[in-house]
Amino acid sequence: MHKEEMTMHRLKTLGGALALALLVPAAVLAQPSTGSANFTRYYAIGDSLTAGFISGSLVVSGQRTSYPALLHRQATGLTTGFEQPLVADPGIPGVLELRSLSPLTVAPKDGQGNPTNLTLPRPYNNLAVPGARLRDTLVTFSGGLHDLVLRPTGFGRTTALQQAVASNPTFVTIWIGNNDVLAAATSGVVIEGVTITPAAQFEADFRSLAATIASTNAKMAIATIPDVTTIAYVNTLTRFVPNPATGAPVLINGQPVPLIGPNGPLGPSDRVLLSASAELARGNGIPAALGGSGKPLPDTAFLTGDELATISSRVNAYNNIIRTVAGERGAALADTNALLTRAAQGKVGVGGMTFSPAYLTGGIFSYDGVHPTSIGYAFVANTFIDAINEKFGADIPPVNLTPFLFGSAAKTADDVLAGSETPAFVFTDEAKLSLFQALRIDPNPKRPGKGGKGGKGGRK
């Protein structure tokens, strides 16, 4: 096998084939002790991170390893009984894949998959809707992927929360609120009440959600929100002109050359988004003297330091609310925010392999740079399991991570690209549009009453 073919094989293994490890039917596990928690009727409320969305798609390979599916298996010892709105390959929308090696190009598969169990005569156990914000769990019953998950033609005008309550749950997990801030990070635009939810509204809605679940007497596990400024989509590209062959910064007199924004060279606090790679491939953001178009990057292609600070501050505010409500309601608290922080610090690993948020090579994020790989979801499931065991006196065994580590994935993440420090890649416009449509993110949001943000960027 040629070196390029080996590289492609390794990348596909890391980015996609990990999802296949748990598709083989597993043996029924021994019945674990769940303490005071009862998983007889377990339901999950959330967004794409709960749905098992992977590489820009709701697809069976990701759904089978969603954290609720893994949690149910570990808590009950059963591989059946937890129903999800499964979608056959290539998923909805088409799952992202590597299209070429030179440069590495990420784009969605053609077409879309078909749902395989729309006729289930009861609500799904996994009621998570990709693209849902917190408020959607309370008021939204149709539109986008709500139609697939909530099936309004069969279950009337009922929300995810209403369907969960009507199912008389014994245990509910809640991981919602990520999209209340994600649009600001991925679109490069922070607009209060548009791309980012006001903290006061978030608190009112979260309290309402938790109170309604508590009224059923179901036990709960609630997760914090990761800091979206640390995800691969936001934290991969540098602000410097890249070498098109290696992705490493171009040096002039030993110094890297900043990319160009609407107001001049990007400054030290600016963060370039994953989708900007398509702009860079067209030469935008690159000075003409270095072979670029000389045109600036659009301001939707990066975040300023002030925008990053606003996003991180809002995530902290949301998490303070989540922690408070979880404590008041006697819920287990799964700190997924801390999980991603540990990963960024190089403190998450298994089998001698260290995982990080790095795009393509880190092992935690799938090809969309926002959602986990299957092993990333396994780490999330174990975070929930640890919290449930501690809170409810349970002894649920953790997900065995060994099946995820096989073949060429069973090596350090830094070796996957055969010595390449930072691979050159293109996250295509098609990939961005597909992801944004699925998550209901406006790719070009406008400030209310104005034509846009105006130019931003420049040295600070």
Res. 272 pLDDT band, cuts 50 70 90: very high
Q: What is the pLDDT of residues 149-170, one digit of tens each?
A: 999 988 889 999 999 999 999 9
Task: Specify the range with the lowest mean pLDDT, choosing from 5-19, 106-120, 369-383, 436-450.
Answer: 5-19
State the DSSP string of 229-246. GGSHHHHSB-SBPBPTTT
pLDDT recorded at residue 414: 36
- ∠ CA 335-192-174, nearest 5°, is 30
Secondary structure element (H or E) that encloses residue 60, with its range = helix 60-63
Q: Which stretches of 191-273 are assigned E, i.e. beta strand?
A: 219-223, 251-252, 255-256, 260-261, 264-265, 271-272
Q: Based on the number of CB atoms within 10 Å of its own CB, is 395 exposed (0-12), middle (13-18) or buried (19 or more)?
A: exposed
β-strands 264-265, 42-46 pairing = unpaired
User: Using 50, 70 and 90 to split pLDDT, how confident is the model at 26?
Assistant: very low
- Mean pLDDT over 284-297 rounds to 95
Question: Is residue 23 over pLDDT 50?
Answer: no
**206 pLDDT more than 50:** yes
State the pLDDT at residue 94. 97
pLDDT in the model for residue 351:
78
Say yes or no to pLDDT of 41 above 90.
yes
CA of 109: how far to CAs of 120, 366, 448, in Å? 28, 15, 35
pLDDT value at 361 more than 90: no
pLDDT above 60: residue 10: no
Is residue 284 predicted with pLDDT exceeding 90? yes
Q: Percent of the chain at pLDDT above 70?
A: 86
pTM value is 0.89
pLDDT of residue 30: 72
Task: Write down the pLDDT at residue 246.
Answer: 78
Rounded CA gap, 236 and 22, in Å? 29
Q: How confident is the model at residue 445 (pLDDT cuts 50, 70, 90)?
A: confident
**pLDDT tens, position by position, 237-259:** 999 998 887 778 999 999 999 99
- Check if the beta carbon of residue 150 is closer than 8 Å to that of residue 159: yes
Contact between residue 354 and residue 362 where contact means Cβ atoms under 8 Å apart = no
pLDDT, tens only, 320-340? 999 999 999 999 999 999 999
User: Domains of the chain: which residue ranges?
Assistant: 3-234+304-438
Q: Which residue has the higher pLDDT, 248 or 282?
A: 282
* Model confidence pLDDT, tens digit, residues 388-441: 999 999 999 999 998 877 633 333 333 333 333 445 788 999 999 999 999 999
Provide the pLDDT confidence category of residue 25 given band limits of 50, 70 and 90.
very low
- Residue 455, classed as helix, strand or coil, is coil
Work out the mean pLDDT of the chain and round it to a whole number.
88
Provide the pLDDT for residue 360: 87
Q: What is the pLDDT of residue 278?
A: 94
Range from 151-155, 174-178, 320-324, 375-379 carrying the lowest mean pLDDT: 151-155
3-state DSSP assignment of residue 100: strand
What's the CATH superfamily of 3-234+304-438? SGNH hydrolase (3.40.50.1110)
Query: Residue 76: pLDDT above 90?
Result: yes
Reference 71, options 381, 300, 324; nearest CA is: 381
Is 29's pLDDT higher than 80?
Answer: no
pLDDT band, very low/low/confident/very high, at 377 (cuts 50, 70, 90): very high
Per-residue tokens: 384: 């929930």
Is the per-residue pLDDT at 114 higher than 70?
yes
Give mean pLDDT, residues 258-278: 95
Crossing angle (nearest 10°) for helices 179-187 and 305-328: 170
- Confidence (pLDDT) at 453: 46
Burial of 225 (0-12, 13-18, 19+ CB in 10 A): buried
